[in-house]
C-alpha cells in the first residue's frame, strides 16, 4: 500500500482525508475511532483498509481501529485511551460532534495525556449534510485548541504536529476541515512513520472524576491551558504572513481552504497585499494579530460560514484602538452562506480593491437540461419496502425519515420522506406525531442509524404506548457513507469476526410487543406485515431485511455467481406505467416512441419490477450481465 511507504521526502498524491490518516501514522497513533459520515468517512476507511491489509496477512497493524456505535462512543473510547497515555484520533462529520458534545465539553475540563486529535469535517453548502453548522465555535465553546488545514499536505502536517501540541498542552486538539479539503487530492511529502506504543497505563487521580468540586478546580485549569496554547499559537509555523506584490496598507486575514482562493485571486488581480494565513485558529495568536492590524489601514477577512475570525479580529482591533477598516461579512462583501470558490472571492476583491473582475462567464445556455438528483439505486431493497408500505396504507400517512439512503425516498414517485432532523430522529418524531395528530405514522431508518441513535426513542414509544409504526430498513451495512460495518454485521472495521447483534433482539429487549420481520423482495408478504403493524394499537416495529444490492452484487461477482437482468416483453406491456410511475426504478425508461424498457447496464437484477407489473410483462433475461 502506497500510504504505508516509509520513504521520507517522497511525494505521493493523497486525498485530504488520507493525508490525515498518514499524519496520524507518522505520529504513531495507537487508537483511532469514528462513526462514518461524509465528508469525514475516508479518514477512518483508510485506517480500516490498512488494518484489514495486515489482518489478512495475520500481522499486527500496530494500532487499534473501530467503527464505533456512534460519535459519542467513539470519542469516549479514544478519550480513555488518551487518558491512559496512548495517542488517539477520533474523526466525524460536523454534526457528529453534536452527538459527541456531551463527552467533549467535559473532556476539555479533564484533558488528556497521550495526544488526541478530534477531526470535525464541516460541510459548507451541505453537499451531503442536513445543515452547514460552523464547528469552529465548538473550539470556543469547549475551549479546544484548533488547527485548520488548507491543503492535503498541510492536513498531514497538522495531524502529525497536532499530536505533539496536544501532549504539550495535555488537551485534545480539534482539527477542523471542510469538504474541499477532505475531498481534495494533492501531492503530500512523506515523513518517517512512527511505531505506536501499544499499551497505556491509567494513573488513578481524583482529577479525572468530574464531580462538582473537581469541575470547579478543572475549569480554571482549562483557562490556564488556553493561555499556554496562545503562546504556542504565537510561535506556530501554521500562522504566517505571505506577501503578494509590494504590500503597504492592505491586509487580508484568512484560514482553511479560503486561503487558496485568496492567494490566487490576489496574484491574478495583481494586488499589493499581505496575507495573514491562520492555521492555528484557536486560540488566535493575539500579539501577531495585533501587530498585523497595526500595520494595516484596511483589512479584508475571508472565511467560509460564520464571522468567526472577523468578530475576534474586530475585538482585538477595538482593544488596541485601531481605526483600520475591516471588510468582510458585516460590510456585505462576503456571505455567511455556503462554500466559497474562486469566482466569489475574485468578485468580492474586485469590489473591495476597485479593480476589474477578469472573469468572463459565458452566457448560460437556453437549453433546459433535466435534473439529475441522486436516487435510490436500481434494485435497492428500500424501494420494495416503501412500495409495500404505501400499498398497505395508501393515504393519510406521515413518514418521518432519517439520515441515510432513505432520505432519497423523498423523490417521486415514492415521496415517502416527510420530515427529517438528525440521526435517529425518525423514531422520536414518530412518537411526537402520534401525540399531536390523528394521521397514521410510519417512520423509516436504517440499521446503522437504529444502533446509533434510535433505541432510546423506541423505549419511549413502548413506555408511553405511542401508536406508531417504526421501520428498520436492515440492509446489513452503513450504505450511504461507503458500506462500513456496524453492530449488526458479523465483522468489524479491522476485518476481524465480530459478534452480530440482531435488530430484532434489541427491539424485543426494549419491550416492543408487535414486531414484523420481512423480506421486502416478497412484496405481498411485506404489504400484509405493514397492514398488521398499522392496525396494531401501540408501537409496532417492522424490520425489513435485505442486503444492500450494491454490496450483494459485488459479493456475487467475487464468488463468480450470475447476476440476471430483466426485460420488458413489448407485446405484453400495456404501458400502465406501474413500474415507472409507482415503483420508480431508475433503470426503467421511456424510449422515444414512449414504449417502456429496462436499461440492462443499470439493472441490478432484483426482479421486483416483475412482481409489481400487473400484466406479467417483465421477465428475467436469459443472457447474463
Partner 1 sequence: MKDKINIVLTGIGGQGVITAANLLGKAAVAAGVNVFVSEIHGMAQRGGSVNCTVRLGNVSGPLVPSGTADVILSTEPAEALRYIHFSNKKTKIITDVTPIIPFTVATGDEKYPPVEKIFEELKKYAEVYTVDATKIATNAGAIVTKNVVMLGALAGADILPFKSNVLLNVILENVPEKYKQINQKAFELGVKSIKK
Which residues here bind partner 1, judged by CB under 8 A? 11-13, 38-39, 41-42, 127-128, 150-151, 179-180, 183-187, 257, 259-261, 263-264, 341-343, 346, 359-362, 364-365, 367-377, 405, 407-408, 411-413, 480-482, 580-581, 584, 586, 588-590, 601
Shortest distance, CB of residue 442 to partner 1, whole angstroms? 23
Shortest distance, CB of residue 64 to partner 1, whole angstroms? 26
Q: Which is nearer to partner 1, 373 or 614 (CB)?
A: 373
Range list of β-strands (E), 399-505: 440-446, 469-474
Shortest distance, CB of residue 270 to partner 1, whole angstroms? 14
Separation CA 117–CA 169 (nearest Å): 12
Q: Which is nearer to partner 1, 35 or 433 (CB)?
A: 35
Shortest distance, CB of residue 471 to partner 1, whole angstroms? 20
Q: What does DSSP assign to residue 204? A: P
Q: Which is nearer to partner 1, 70 or 266 (CB)?
A: 266
Half-sphere exposure at residue 486, Cβ-oriented, CA atoms within 13 angstroms: 27
Q: Which is nearer to partner 1, 64 or 238 (CB)?
A: 238
DSSP-derived 3-state class of residue 480: coil
* Nearest Cα residue to 387 out of 405, 362, 413, 369: 413
**Inter-residue contact 368 to 209 (CB < 8 Å):** no
Peptide bond just before 2 cis, omega within 30 deg = no
Separation CA 527–CA 515 (nearest Å): 14
Q: Which is nearer to partner 1, 11 or 248 (CB)?
A: 11
Instruction: Determine the distance from the C-alpha atom of residue 233 to the mean position of all C-alpha atoms in its chain, rounded to a whole number.
Output: 28
Shortest distance, CB of residue 609 to partner 1, whole angstroms? 12
Shortest distance, CB of residue 524 to partner 1, whole angstroms? 25
**Inter-residue contact 363 to 341 (CB < 8 Å):** no
Q: Which is nearer to partner 1, 321 or 373 (CB)?
A: 373
Orientation angle between helical segments 16-26 and 41-56, nearest 10 degrees: 60
Shortest distance, CB of residue 180 to partner 1, whole angstroms? 7
Burial status of residue 277 (CB atoms within 10 A of its CB: 0-12, 13-18, 19 or more): buried
- Cβ neighbours around 391 below 10 Å, total: 17
* Alpha-carbon radius of gyration of the chain: 27
- Cβ neighbours around 501 below 10 Å, total: 16
Shortest distance, CB of residue 151 to partner 1, whole angstroms? 8
Q: Which is nearer to partner 1, 355 or 436 (CB)?
A: 355
Q: What does DSSP assign to residue 255? A: E
What stretch of H or E contains 169?
helix 152-169
Separation CA 229–CA 233 (nearest Å): 6
- Cβ neighbours around 366 below 10 Å, total: 5
Q: Which is nearer to partner 1, 479 or 510 (CB)?
A: 479
Shortest distance, CB of residue 325 to partner 1, whole angstroms? 27
Separation CA 503–CA 510 (nearest Å): 11
Q: In what order do the strands lie in the sheet with 240-244?
A: 240-244, 273-278, 250-255, 298-302, 325-327
Residues 6+ apart with CB under 8 A from 601: none
Shortest distance, CB of residue 383 to partner 1, whole angstroms? 12
Q: Which is nearer to partner 1, 205 or 243 (CB)?
A: 243
DSSP-derived 3-state class of residue 346: helix
Separation CA 452–CA 423 (nearest Å): 7
**Inter-residue contact 72 to 456 (CB < 8 Å):** no
621: which 3 cell numbers?
433475461
Q: Which is nearer to partner 1, 111 or 256 (CB)?
A: 256
Q: Which is nearer to partner 1, 41 or 544 (CB)?
A: 41
Report in angstroms the alpha-carbon separations of 34 from 23, 40, 122, 296: 16, 9, 15, 43
Q: Which is nearer to partner 1, 482 or 538 (CB)?
A: 482
**Inter-residue contact 446 to 479 (CB < 8 Å):** yes
122: which 3 cell numbers?
464541516
Given CA atoms 449, 452, 454, 458 in this order, what sign does their dihedral have? positive
Q: Which is nearer to partner 1, 375 or 423 (CB)?
A: 375
Shortest distance, CB of residue 187 to partner 1, whole angstroms? 5
Shortest distance, CB of residue 489 to partner 1, whole angstroms? 20
Kind of pairing between the strands at 540-545 and 64-67: unpaired
Q: Which is nearer to partner 1, 39 or 114 (CB)?
A: 39
**Inter-residue contact 25 to 48 (CB < 8 Å):** no
Q: Which is nearer to partner 1, 36 or 115 (CB)?
A: 36
Shortest distance, CB of residue 186 to partner 1, whole angstroms? 5
Amino acid at each position: 500500500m502506497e500510504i504505508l511507504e516509509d520513504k521520507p521526502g517522497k511525494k505521493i498524491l493523497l486525498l485530504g482525508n488520507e493525508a490525515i490518516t498518514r499524519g496520524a501514522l507518522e505520529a504513531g497513533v495507537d487508537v483511532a475511532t469514528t462513526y462514518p459520515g461524509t465528508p469525514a468517512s475516508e479518514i477512518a476507511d483508510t485506517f480500516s483498509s490498512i488494518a484489514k491489509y495486515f489482518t489478512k496477512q495475520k500481522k499486527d497493524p500496530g494500532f487499534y481501529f473501530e467503527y464505533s456505535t456512534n460519535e459519542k462512543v467513539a470519542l469516549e473510547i479514544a478519550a480513555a485511551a488518551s487518558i491512559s497515555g496512548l495517542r488517539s484520533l477520533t474523526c466525524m462529520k460536523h454534526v457528529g460532534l453534536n452527538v459527541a458534545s456531551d463527552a467533549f465539553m467535559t473532556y476539555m475540563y479533564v484533558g488528556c495525556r497521550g495526544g488526541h486529535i478530534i477531526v470535525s469535517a464541516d460541510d459548507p453548502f451541505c453537499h451531503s449534510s442536513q445543515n452547514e453548522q460552523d464547528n469552529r465555535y465548538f473550539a470556543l465553546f469547549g475551549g479546544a485548541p484548533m488547527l485548520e488545514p488548507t491543503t492535503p499536505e498541510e492536513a498531514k502536517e497538522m495531524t502529525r504536529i497536532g499530536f505533539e501540541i496536544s501532549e504539550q498542552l495535555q488537551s485534545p486538539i480539534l482539527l477542523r476541515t471542510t469538504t474541499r479539503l477532505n475531498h481534495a487530492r494533492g501531492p503530500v511529502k512523506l515523513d518517517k512513520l512512527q511505531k505506536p506504543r501499544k499499551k497505556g497505563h491509567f494513573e488513578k487521580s481524583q482529577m479525572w472524576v468530574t464531580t462538582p468540586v473537581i469541575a470547579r478546580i478543572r475549569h480554571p485549569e482549562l483557562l490556564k491551558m488556553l493561555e499556554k496554547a496562545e503562546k504556542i499559537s504565537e510561535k506556530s509555523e501554521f500562522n504566517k504572513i505571505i506577501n503578494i506584490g509590494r504590500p503597504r496598507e492592505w491586509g487580508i486575514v484568512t484560514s482553511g481552504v479560503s486561503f487558496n482562493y485568496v492567494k490566487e485571486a490576489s496574484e491574478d488581480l495583481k494586488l499589493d497585499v499581505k496575507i495573514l494565513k491562520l492555521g492555528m485558529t484557536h486560540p488566535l495568536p493575539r500579539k501577531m494579530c495585533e501587530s498585523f492590524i497595526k500595520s494595516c489601514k484596511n483589512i479584508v477577512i475571508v472565511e467560509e460560514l460564520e464571522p468567526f475570525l472577523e468578530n475576534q479580529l474586530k475585538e482585538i482591533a477595538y482593544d488596541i484602538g485601531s481605526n483600520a477598516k475591516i471588510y468582510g461579512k458585516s460590510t456585505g462583501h462576503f456571505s455567511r452562506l455556503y462554500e466559497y470558490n474562486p469566482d466569489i472571492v475574485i468578485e468580492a476583491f474586485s469590489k473591495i480593491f476597485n479593480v476589474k473582475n477578469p472573469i468572463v462567464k459565458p452566457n448560460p445556455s437556453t437549453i433546459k437540461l433535466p435534473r439529475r438528483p441522486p436516487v435510490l439505486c436500481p434494485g435497492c431493497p428500500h424501494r420494495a419496502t416503501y412500495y409495500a408500505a404505501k400499498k398497505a396504507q395508501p393515504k393519510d400517512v406521515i413518514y418521518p425519515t432519517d439520515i441515510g439512503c432513505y432520505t432519497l425516498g423523498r423523490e417521486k414517485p415514492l415521496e415517502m420522506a416527510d420530515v427529517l432532523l438528525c440521526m435517529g430522529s425518525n423514531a422520536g418524531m414518530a412518537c411526537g406525531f402520534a401525540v399531536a395528530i390523528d394521521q397514521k405514522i410510519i417512520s423509516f431508518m436504517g440499521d446503522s442509524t437504529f444502533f446509533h441513535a434510535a433505541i432510546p426513542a423506541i423505549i419511549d414509544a413502548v413506555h408511553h404506548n405511542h401508536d406508531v409504526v417504526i421501520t428498520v430498513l436492515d440492509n446489513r451495512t452503513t450504505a450511504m457513507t461507503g458500506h462500513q460495518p456496524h453492530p449488526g454485521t458479523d465483522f468489524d472495521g479491522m476485518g476481524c469476526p465480530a459478534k452480530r447483534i440482531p435488530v430484532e433482539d434489541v427491539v424485543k429487549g426494549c419491550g416492543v410487543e408487535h414486531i414484523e420481520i420481512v423480506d421486502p423482495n416478497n412484496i405481498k408478504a411485506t404489504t400484509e406485515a405493514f397492514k398488521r403493524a398499522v392496525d396494531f394499537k401501540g408501537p409496532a416495529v417492522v424490520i425489513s431485511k435485505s442486503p444492500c444490492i450494491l454490496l450483494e452484487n459485488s459479493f456475487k461477482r467475487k464468488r463468480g455467481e450470475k447476476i440476471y437482468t430483466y426485460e420488458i416483453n413489448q407485446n405484453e406491456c400495456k404501458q400502465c406505467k406501474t413500474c415507472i410511475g409507482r415503483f420508480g426504478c431508475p433503470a426503467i425508461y421511456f424510449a422515444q416512441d414512449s414504449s417502456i424498457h429496462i436499461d440492462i447496464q443499470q439493472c441490478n437484477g432484483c426482479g421486483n419490477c416483475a412482481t409489481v407489473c400487473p400484466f406479467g410483462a417483465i421477465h428475467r433475461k436469459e443472457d447474463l450481465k
